[in-house]
Amino acid sequence: MNAIITSAVCGVIMMFSSVFVENKKTYRHIAAVLLLLLLAVNVADTYGIRLFHIDTKGMLLFDRFGYFFNSIAIASTLIYVVLTGRDIEKVGTYTAEYFVLIFFVLCGVTILSSYNTLLMLFLGIEILSIPLYILTGADKRNLKSNEAALKYFLMGSFSTGIMLMGITLIYGATGTFDIYVTPKETITGQPAIVYSLLESAGLILMMISIGFKVSAAPFHFWTPDVYDGSPGVFTSFMATIVKAAGFIAFIKLFDARADASGVEANAFTGVDWKMLFAILIVSTLLIGNITAVFQQSVKRMMAYSSIAQAGFMLFALFSLNDVAKEGLLLYAAAYSLASIGIFAIMVKMKDHTFEGYNGLSKTQPVLAATNTIFLLSLAGIPLTAGFFAKYYMLASVMKTSGYLWLVIVGVVFAAVSVYYYFRVIQAMYFKDGEATITEEVSKGFKVGIIVLAGLIILFGILPQSLLQWFYF
């Protein structure tokens, strides 16, 4: 509860700071301080210090999982703002407002990590999405940014409509918006089969709509254009923290539904959910990885890579056990940190194609070295956080008997992904060229990015150093 209210209040404070503070550079310092405060407040909440005592009538449920994810999301945003704050200033004239919108997105993230009714799920997703539509179109004079905003907005509200239909059908079947409920409890005169049919249809619609939000294939088609068109700094935010939040919402919903029916997840409401998720995973991995191979621009490659990474995160939805939940948190942290680093370096580059990175190791050895670590982590090479993240995901599937082929598919596509990540490394180290950056990087940026790379290696060697906070 602390984090939800504080993030909204921080947004309002930021808004007023744009009235009273003239200097543009101050905004990112204010934002960083507020994010630090937000993180402290959330950690305090984890340890039982509540600032607000509000009876939510069971609409929100706060648990260790949600708190821990909030901390990861807020800490990632803090790192994001510290690293790329200068680039946010360059997007347009309304610097403070961009930070305001980021705070409001965080408010949506914190609601999504703690919702207990479908109403709060809906509100959380909307609070998360609407500021993002604006951020996508922040570069008002740029046609690509316009197109991205329009596409993102139309697809986003379309998927909201589908989700609402899903919620309504579930409500019709169960008579309540609580996520923990069985259809059997609330049969009212109609034959039971009608209700389970309504509920299955509702859940499938919800699956489609959240599939849109986390860009799982075949609902991914908006992703490349939107990620490519929107300003690089906001792509970074969209592809990392927001996407991870979508997965948290996804796993909470399906975890609750699997619990509610009191049986194995594949038996609930008569639909073979395991198979549905398996199809979703395979198509997402296939489309994401194969298309990423053919891209010429690093920004677009990262868009497809984010689809491919979403495929890996979907493994957690498939297996829905404790390893999967732990793994999803680790994956969210590993993926967010690595992608934030790659995007932070990318927005400094003049040319976003692979050729633009040629010879970066000679001109900017620090950036090239850290970028290599981030790329290795995304590819899942041992000694980086990405390795254990992928390991946990595959291990969770191993615990579900009869789906060994899915693990093999995962490993094969992880191998495919190595190709396009290594293309960037190859360009940086083994090709001659004049990689140019738009402006001289500051010492602070270098220190920040080295710390970020250090974190990724730390989680790669000792994943428990992150996960022990989950249990402490």
Minimal distance, residue 198 CB to other proteins, in Å: 8
Minimal distance, residue 457 CB to other proteins, in Å: 40
The whole-angstrom separation of Cα 31 and Cα 97 is 11
Q: Which is nearer to other proteins, 140 or 184 (CB)?
A: 140
Q: Which is nearer to other proteins, 126 or 351 (CB)?
A: 126
Contact 98, 139 (CB under 8 A): no
Three-class DSSP category at 181? coil
Enter the tokens of residue 396.
């969770």
Minimal distance, residue 87 CB to other proteins, in Å: 21
The CA-CA-CA angle for residues 335, 384, 78, to 5°, reads 45
Q: Which is nearer to other proteins, 175 or 433 (CB)?
A: 175
Contact 438, 350 (CB under 8 A): yes
Q: Which is nearer to other proteins, 158 or 405 (CB)?
A: 158
Minimal distance, residue 1 CB to other proteins, in Å: 19
Q: Which is nearer to other proteins, 25 or 144 (CB)?
A: 144
Sign of CA dihedral 316, 317, 323, 326: positive
The single-letter DSSP state of residue 115 is B
Minimal distance, residue 415 CB to other proteins, in Å: 33
Sign of CA dihedral 41, 103, 108, 233: negative
Phi first, then psi: give them for residue 68, nearest 5 degrees: -65, -40
Q: Which is nearer to other proteins, 158 or 430 (CB)?
A: 158
Minimal distance, residue 218 CB to other proteins, in Å: 14
b/e string for 58-83 if b means 16 or more Cβ within 10 A? ebbbbeebbbbbbbbbbbbbbbbbbb
What one-character-per-residue DSSP string does 185-230 give? GG--SS-HHHHHHHHHHHHHHHHHHHHHHTT-TTS-TTHHHHHHHS
Q: Which is nearer to other proteins, 50 or 144 (CB)?
A: 144
Can you say how many angstroms the Cα of residue 435 is from the centroid of all Cα atoms in its chain? 30
Residues in the chain: 472
The whole-angstrom separation of Cα 102 and Cα 30 is 13
Minimal distance, residue 72 CB to other proteins, in Å: 27
Minimal distance, residue 172 CB to other proteins, in Å: 4
Phi first, then psi: give them for residue 353, nearest 5 degrees: -85, 170
Q: Which is nearer to other proteins, 149 or 320 (CB)?
A: 149
Enter the tokens of residue 124.
């959380």
Q: Which is nearer to other proteins, 66 or 202 (CB)?
A: 202
Contact 173, 202 (CB under 8 A): yes
Enter the tokens of residue 159.
């998927």
Q: Which is nearer to other proteins, 231 or 448 (CB)?
A: 231
Q: Which is nearer to other proteins, 153 or 331 (CB)?
A: 153
Binding site for other proteins (CB under 8 A): 119, 122-123, 126, 130, 133-134, 137, 140-141, 143-144, 146-147, 149-151, 153-154, 157-158, 160-162, 164-165, 167-168, 171-172, 175-177, 188-189
Minimal distance, residue 119 CB to other proteins, in Å: 6
Peptide bond into 218 cis (omega under 30): yes
Minimal distance, residue 190 CB to other proteins, in Å: 8
Can you say how many angstroms the Cα of residue 79 is from the centroid of all Cα atoms in its chain? 15
Minimal distance, residue 12 CB to other proteins, in Å: 16
What one-character-per-residue DSSP string does 46-100 give? HTT--S-----TTSB---HHHHHHHHHHHHHHHHHHHHHHHHHHHH-S-HHHHHH
Q: Which is nearer to other proteins, 114 or 117 (CB)?
A: 117
Give the closest residue to 461 by CA, choosing from 334, 314, 354: 334
Minimal distance, residue 161 CB to other proteins, in Å: 4
Enter the tokens of residue 222.
């908006």
The single-letter DSSP state of residue 358 is T
